[in-house]
Structure 1
């Protein structure tokens, strides 16, 4: 009787307050309230958010290494590795360019900076000096050279995602080429995967603490009112990102037989974690695990997700072109169609050159503007105060884009377990969702 009245939870069902996403939501709200009403105390909560992100970064390198190396070893075909990587890069390039173009179009239509008439001489260039220095130190060649680690241990010690990924791919290929002699090593790595992912689960239990600290600091430091004077830019960016997710990524999802809202429900805990910490890296290990549980092949999830964290930055790309044109409009700097196309082309390169750098969105914008002489880089001081509020949206859009990419590429490769996928999506997938056909030469 008591069970039917809800006094005692039915067997196998947890009380709502035991769910991680409920705890994270409560922590975010508590952080907002503390930061708003007691800003000094809120600012002091910053170490909680920083500590949680450090905890997660601690396991990112081993998660990527184990997932990628065992996944490639399980493929047994080095040509398949190249095929998956090639498809992933084609997908990333297409949608990253589309995101840049959408930001450009929205900025021209909405004109968020029009009417401000700000004199560039009145801006404090010193406030963005640190970002411009990092931007000048970043180049595409330097980025490509930086993928190769100085030493194997150094890649793991620095926690550089691309360096770890680079070594993991090579090691996985080596395991494949030396099979069956390398089978004991592969078996050991498979056995090691279980406790590492259990460690990730343990770390996620303190996610509400990290989300609380990060949100309390953000609101305490910058205040809710600090975005009022730049509400048009912030609102335009959020609206554009939402439409990109629902319309563009939603269209991709529908074409591939599933609903974007079903996917968002499936990864809601990770999305709330990204929202609370303003860092998509905080949910990277969990996303890999979730995608595998949803039926995506380990090799695909292990390759696509870490690579996407550097090359598939839809939210950051929307932000770059939208913010660049906002600055030009606010400073009354006219940009011709040719100038805007140049801006887009430069952003395509600089968005890859600054990948993996802390604060990459703002630094990439600085790198882009430094090559467009007509827009004073000091204009970035206009958005410095609200950039922190836009970083959450950038991280969320980037994160969702990588989740969609993983499912789509897994389907292209025939590496999507339909039974698991439909169960994960709550049986809300549409159509039969048959694996995509591949060219005959790839079947061989």
Structure 2
């Protein structure tokens, strides 16, 4: 579909450089790092700023996902397409999640970041990771599946479980599409409510620099940049591996789909800086939904792929899991056979789904994996506990980019991608939402 005259006329006028959200967030992150480094106690005390901002974002996540999915499904009418989109999305998730696990394992075997540390597992304090091990034990596959169904309809919107919102929204969207004229009247109301919620998102995002400042000041103040020195090789290996996954692997996928991964990263720069500042990809979830719709992806595809991707398409987390597991084994002088490494890979594939959506999921899924693979001591996780916060930022960034790419690719597979809008977005043109008035602020 070609861009209309209305689209062209509503393109935003150039703004002053300091009014852009990404500039403000970047400045806030820099200020937070400096404050945390030179005044650690003050930096730690600013933790509530980051926490409050993330709470504000989580406040709107459930209704935004619900409204996006319901209006997308009800407006599409072709209910068979819903199952088709879901099948394509899960096939994509499974392939690239497995590829990320394998990549982490290959890099860990080649570079051996833990070799030479010669740590005796008996000297490690297992109590430091006991909390994570307990959470991992509770995060079983069956518990995860049963937890997808909320106790009540409204509970799905109040408990913060993304997959519960997804299940309820899909069912409600199908019901709405099945009741004819009455459904159309309600659909119109929900679309109007959706516009209001996206406006609310833009208002909330005004506080992003404050949240990023508080979160980064706390991280540096509490853990300190010097905490990276002893484990610098692991941190560097993980960041470089994740960067290669994004630029090379996802870059090839993006090229085959007809867009540039670097242009996509530039398009999502505000959200990526926000994820970096808060160490949470959830903080940018509502904005990602809006940005993907602006870039020409079908509302139905966005509504199904983005929320499920946040639980099932965790590329950064998967790279971290196998790389960190091998690091612990190498540091403790544990030689893993090929069979044990394959077992580790298989367990990681399952545990990464079982603990999806849990706060601190990266560390928890690692604990779940090591608790089933006895060759690697769970107590070895104490080695990387101090740097996990810094690893979390890279995990979140990689997960975020991976889900953006997945949304565009699945839209293209489904024939539901507006190439003119995508090309305009990749060129940096701020198009309005295709089915609603433009939202100001992001």
Q: TM-score, normalised by structure 2?
A: 0.94
Matched, 1:406 2:407: yes
**Which residue does 1:118 correspond to in 2?**
119
- Contact 2:355/2:364 (<8 A) preserved: yes
**3-state DSSP of counterpart to 2:154:** helix
Matched, 1:354 2:350: no
Offset of 1:427 from its aligned partner? 8.2
Matched, 1:236 2:237: yes
Which stretches of structure 1, 4 residues or longer, exceed 6 Å deviation after superposition? none
* Matches of 1:247 and 1:73, distance apart in 2: 37
User: Where does 1:7-406 land on structure 2 (aligned, <5 Å)?
Assistant: 12-406=13-407
* Matches of 2:257 and 2:295, distance apart in 1: 15
Offset of 1:176 from its aligned partner? 1.1
Instruction: Give per-residue Cα distances to partners, 1:400-422, cap 9 Å, x unaligned.
Output: 00000000000111111111111
**Which residue does 2:418 correspond to in 1?**
417
Offset of 1:15 from its aligned partner? 1.0
* Matches of 2:327 and 2:423, distance apart in 1: 42
- Contact 2:141/2:354 (<8 A) preserved: yes
* Matches of 1:341 and 1:374, distance apart in 2: 13
- Contact 2:101/2:322 (<8 A) preserved: yes
* Matches of 2:20 and 2:241, distance apart in 1: 31
* Matches of 1:244 and 1:106, distance apart in 2: 11
* Matches of 2:178 and 2:390, distance apart in 1: 48
- Structure 2 unaligned runs (5+)? 1-11, 430-442
* Matches of 1:12 and 1:427, distance apart in 2: 12
Total equivalences in the alignment: 418
Offset of 1:275 from its aligned partner? 0.3
- Between 232-241 and 417-426, report the one with greater CA deviation: 417-426
Instruction: Give per-residue Cα distances to partners, 1:331-387, cap 9 Å, x unaligned.
Output: 001100000000000000000000010000000000000000111100000000001
* Matches of 2:24 and 2:241, distance apart in 1: 29
**Which residue does 1:5 correspond to in 2?**
none
- Contact 2:267/2:428 (<8 A) preserved: no
* Matches of 1:47 and 1:89, distance apart in 2: 37
**Which residue does 1:442 correspond to in 2?**
none
* Matches of 1:178 and 1:323, distance apart in 2: 51
CA RMSD of aligned residues (A): 1.0
* Matches of 1:284 and 1:185, distance apart in 2: 26
Offset of 1:181 from its aligned partner? 2.4
**3-state DSSP of counterpart to 2:181:** coil
- Structure 1 unaligned runs (5+)? 1-10, 429-444
* Matches of 1:388 and 1:221, distance apart in 2: 10
Instruction: Give per-residue Cα distances to partners, 1:83-116, cap 9 Å, x unaligned.
Output: 0000000000000000000000000000000000
Q: TM-score, normalised by structure 1?
A: 0.93
Offset of 1:13 from its aligned partner? 2.1
Offset of 1:180 from its aligned partner? 2.3
* Matches of 2:250 and 2:160, distance apart in 1: 30
- Contact 2:115/2:330 (<8 A) preserved: yes
**3-state DSSP of counterpart to 1:148:** coil
